[in-house]
Structure 1
Amino acid sequence: MTGGYQPYPDYTDSGKPWLGPIPDGWKTLRGKYVFREVNERSELGEEQLLSVSEYYGVKPRQEAIGEGEHLSRAESLVGYKKCETDDLVMNIMLAWKTGLGVSGYDGIVSPAYSVFRFDPRKAWPNYMHYLLRTSLYTGHFKTLSTGVIDSRLRLYPETFSGVSILLPSLTEQRTIAAFLDYETARIDALIARQQRLIELLKEKRQAVISHAVTKGLNPDAPMKDSGVEWLGEVPEHWGLPKLLYVTSRIGDGLHSTPVYEDGTGYYFVNGNNLSNGAIKLGPTSKEVPESEYHKHHIPLDNSSALMSINGTVGNLALYNGEPVILGKSACYINCKQPLNRRFLMAYLRSDEVSHYFDTEVTGTTIYNLSLNSVRQMKVCVPPEKEQEAIIKYCTEQDRQFGRLIDHAVRAIELMKERRTALVSAAVTGKIDLREWERPSA
């Protein structure tokens, strides 16, 4: 057994093909003998509002909002279901997708959720939390859910109450839960460190590229005041024109909806199709008839850079001959000498330009950057050979930092896989933890 953990000495057939063999001494009971559904309602609606998610289990809704949840709050919470600490809360539409968990809080939850309370003589809530969120159980939930498509699947309480629950002794349940609390906390801490490393690497990469395209590669080069607050000093020998003077054309795309037709090979793209320096075309990309393409096609060539100017501002791509027409949220910039479009791409990624965009955008929920703001932006223009050197340097820095970031991302994936495997092995009896004790250090 990997990781230094040993299996139980003996196993027996659980009698459930989906569950497989279980350690001798463990038993299975139908859910209704382990927990009961409770349907207590709030009379005032003043209790703490809780939310359940596949990602984090049960949390106060205010914390959930901070992690990306955007559920609207009802005007009144009267009639919401009461939930006590150690109750199991389940979103019946997402049980198959880990949309359930044991609550660590007293509060109230949506009336659409189901709440269950464990029999303390049979189940240790923390063990149950780990068990019922394993892929073994959520996969079984999916087979029991009713509905035609995934988004319509529902696991009703009466069905859930018939699920076979795997039960070691209460003492073992407590030990397993304590072991997983300890080990998952260690893994989570390592994941957090890797995530912080990724943030630092991205910040460093951004700083290195920003410095290269605004200060150059020669630390001894004489500098001059650019006269632009957001730009600061630039090398004395660099040009600093407005972008419109080193481009042949700047514009945006179609301000209406084109005619769509599948299978033509001609695409309609907007700012959200621009990603990591390229136009991203996928299965959901909209295609248009050839006639529509020729009607709305804008002359783009190997001098063209693209940038999103509506919604998410600053997504970038180089045009490489793709058969596309642009929407209004995509701005095209056709460069002319002496401005190299690859240097412009790096410049547009800089912190300095980002600050400029922040001062120029309009809108509160959907940001918009005007074409005039793009045209009037001051742009650093080093001599052409220096631009090429900076482009090469930025490309190499991108590659090196990208490799380090990829290593950290892969490390996180491996740690998450390890976490999942460890939880599953512990709660299903693949490893024997009866003698485990929490380390003192």
Structure 2
Amino acid sequence: MSKYQAYSEYKDSGEEWLGMVPKNWDVIQIKHLSTVRRGASPRPIDDTKYFDDSGEYAWTRIADVTASDVYLTKAPQRLSALGSSLSVKLEPGSLFLSIAGSVGKPCITRIKACIHDGFVYFPELKIPSKFLFYVFAGEQAYKGLGKFGTQLNLNTDTVGGIKIGCTENRQLQQIVNFLDHETAKIDTLIEKQQQLIKLLKEKRQAVISHAVTKGLNPDAPIKDSGVEWLGEVPEHWVVAQLKFNTLEMQTGPFGSQLHAEDYVVDGIPLINPAHMIDGKIIPDQRVTVDNETHERLKRHKLSQGEIIFARRGELGRCAIVTKNEEDWLCGTGSLKAKLNARLIPKYSYLLITSDGVISELSLESKGSTMDNLNTETLGRVRLPVPPVTEQNAILKYVATVSGKYKSLISNAEAAIGLMKERRTALISAAVTGKIDVRGFQIESSNTSMEATA
């Protein structure tokens, strides 16, 4: 923050999170700036009689606020007149704060909204609401509040007892103007980095998909694969249904084979779709069985080199079984396949997670409300099968390319992390008076800004 000047004189606020504040600032509890009230919910909260698409007020959930950085601009449901009468209604421009879930997350609504009892709001705020928003957005207000830092839920007394630094509203609004302008610049840079990451991931996937479906030799003779999504492939490649390149396909246990009471903690893991993350198997020690159940379900044991698939939901989601996961069990929501020697597991994984195969799986899948994969559907999927030597060469190339893209993506992610840290630090410095922005003004060119004493 060396770019910005400090106030000429400071005093001890007596609050750990505030530290030293400008001499002419007051240190005031939030409850003396506004009453702090809690939202309210109709009960039971999910009863359909409380919802009506024609309702005037939107129903706000913790998830809606978590997804919003500053403003609530839409909500998925609207409350009926009955539901609205049992809820707290906020008008556009109102500040509210999450006290459950994403504890301490502030938000300002731009729509007419109803909030439940997981939020508190400030109906009579004597200072600019956006200033108090930034107090919470800076995150430092939570320090020194034992309850705030250690328990999941807050209450109106805890929030009302938070002490903040205050000065006249004109100067507080100047701080808000400064932070609006400066954080917008940082947010723009963050968005550009996020777009870059998205493009890098798309480019990496495109390069990988081209390699595994077209090979590495652009001059190789080609032929029509007979598969719409695949197009032309090298002439010497075989195009075959997956079932002709597997030794076995097996769905996980279902029905009476496995009951809820069979689950134990810290036993032998069952692998369901939620445990397949980026091609790796991440077990949940709460989704396990004991040795007796494991032996009873031994036909569902996993072996090194097998591929385990999600049977429902996100088709194409799969993972390679390594030695570490041997003898774990294929879960109810999964399907496993043992490949023959013509297909290398890592190469198969790259093919199966490509957009083309996922599209074909979706078309072939069964289920009226969601995609549902079975051994027959999976077995019908047509894949290009190069010679094993070429598969190895392609995997080596993909590893090199992926490494380069991974490095670029990591750099962009690190840059985002630094910018977010700077954003938080800037907000904290401004709302606690560590920097003096009284002379801030947006230059006419609207391209730069300086903060002076």
TM-score category by the smaller chain? 0.7 to 0.9
Deviation larger for 204-213 or 399-408: 399-408
Give the CA RMSD over aligned residues.
2.8
Contact 1:253 1:326 in 2 (8 A): yes
TM-aligned CA distance change 1:262 to 1:39, over 3 Å = closer
Deviation larger for 301-310 or 245-254: 301-310
Which residue number in structure 2 is paired with residue 47 of structure 1? 56
For 2:379 and 2:220, the matched residues in 1 are separated by 28
Which residue number in structure 1 is paired with residue 229 of structure 2? 230
For 1:341 and 1:85, the matched residues in 2 are separated by 55
For 1:383 and 1:111, the matched residues in 2 are separated by 61
For 2:395 and 2:29, the matched residues in 1 are separated by 65
Cα deviation for residue 325 of structure 1 reads: 0.7
For 1:335 and 1:40, the matched residues in 2 are separated by 56
Does residue 87 of the first structure (1) align with residue 94 of the second (2)? yes
Which residue number in structure 2 is paired with residue 78 of structure 1? 84
For 1:273 and 1:38, the matched residues in 2 are separated by 41
Spell out, residue by residue over 1:182-213, the C-alpha distance to the aligned partner (whole angstroms, 9 max, x if none).
11101111111111111111111111111111
- SS of 1:254 mapped into structure 2: coil
Cα deviation for residue 132 of structure 1 reads: 3.2
For 1:369 and 1:191, the matched residues in 2 are separated by 39
Cα deviation for residue 57 of structure 1 reads: 4.3
Say which of 262, 270, 283 aligns to 2:265. Answer: 262
Contact 1:360 1:373 in 2 (8 A): yes
Which residue number in structure 2 is paired with residue 326 of structure 1? 330
Cα deviation for residue 27 of structure 1 reads: 0.5
TM-aligned CA distance change 1:93 to 1:376, over 3 Å = closer
Deviation larger for 209-218 or 160-169: 160-169
TM-aligned CA distance change 1:348 to 1:136, over 3 Å = same
Which residue number in structure 1 is paired with residue 273 of structure 2? 271
For 1:224 and 1:415, the matched residues in 2 are separated by 50
Cα deviation for residue 160 of structure 1 reads: 3.6
For 1:78 and 1:302, the matched residues in 2 are separated by 56
Which residue number in structure 2 is paired with residue 69 of structure 1? none
Say which of 85, 106, 115 aligns to 1:110. Answer: 115
For 1:89 and 1:370, the matched residues in 2 are separated by 47
Which residue number in structure 2 is paired with residue 154 of structure 1? 154
> Aligned pairs, how many?
419
Alignment of 1:397-412 (within 5 A): 397-412=401-416
Which residue number in structure 2 is paired with residue 60 of structure 1? 73
For 2:92 and 2:124, the matched residues in 1 are separated by 11
Cα deviation for residue 364 of structure 1 reads: 5.5
Cα deviation for residue 81 of structure 1 reads: 3.1
Contact 2:271 2:329 in 1 (8 A): yes
Contact 1:28 1:166 in 2 (8 A): yes
Does residue 435 of the first structure (1) align with residue 439 of the second (2)? yes
TM-aligned CA distance change 1:26 to 1:299, over 3 Å = closer
Cα deviation for residue 429 of structure 1 reads: 1.0
- SS of 1:228 mapped into structure 2: coil
Cα deviation for residue 366 of structure 1 reads: 3.9
Letter in 1 for 2:223: K
For 2:414 and 2:384, the matched residues in 1 are separated by 37
Identity of aligned residues (%): 32
TM-aligned CA distance change 1:100 to 1:357, over 3 Å = same
Say which of 97, 100, 122 aligns to 2:103. Answer: 97
Does residue 11 of the first structure (1) align with residue 10 of the second (2)? yes
Which residue number in structure 2 is paired with residue 313 of structure 1? 315
TM-aligned CA distance change 1:98 to 1:217, over 3 Å = same
- SS of 2:264 mapped into structure 1: coil
- SS of 1:129 mapped into structure 2: helix
Which residue number in structure 1 is paired with residue 239 of structure 2? 240
Which residue number in structure 1 is paired with residue 204 of structure 2? 205
Spell out, residue by residue over 1:302-347, the C-alpha distance to the aligned partner (whole angstroms, 9 max, x if none).
4422222223222222111213011132221211122222221111
Any unmatched runs of 5+ in structure 2?
41-51, 448-453
Deviation larger for 427-436 or 414-423: 427-436
Deviation larger for 378-387 or 125-134: 125-134
Spell out, residue by residue over 1:3-46, the C-alpha distance to the aligned partner (whole angstroms, 9 max, x if none).
412322221112334432211111022334322468999xx995
Which residue number in structure 2 is paired with residue 68 of structure 1? none
Letter in 1 for 2:155: L
For 1:219 and 1:385, the matched residues in 2 are separated by 17
Cα deviation for residue 280 of structure 1 reads: 1.1
Contact 1:267 1:286 in 2 (8 A): yes
For 1:102 and 1:275, the matched residues in 2 are separated by 35
- SS of 1:5 mapped into structure 2: coil
For 2:111 and 2:297, the matched residues in 1 are separated by 59
TM-score normalised by L of structure 1:
0.86
Contact 1:272 1:315 in 2 (8 A): no
- SS of 1:240 mapped into structure 2: strand
Contact 1:88 1:101 in 2 (8 A): yes
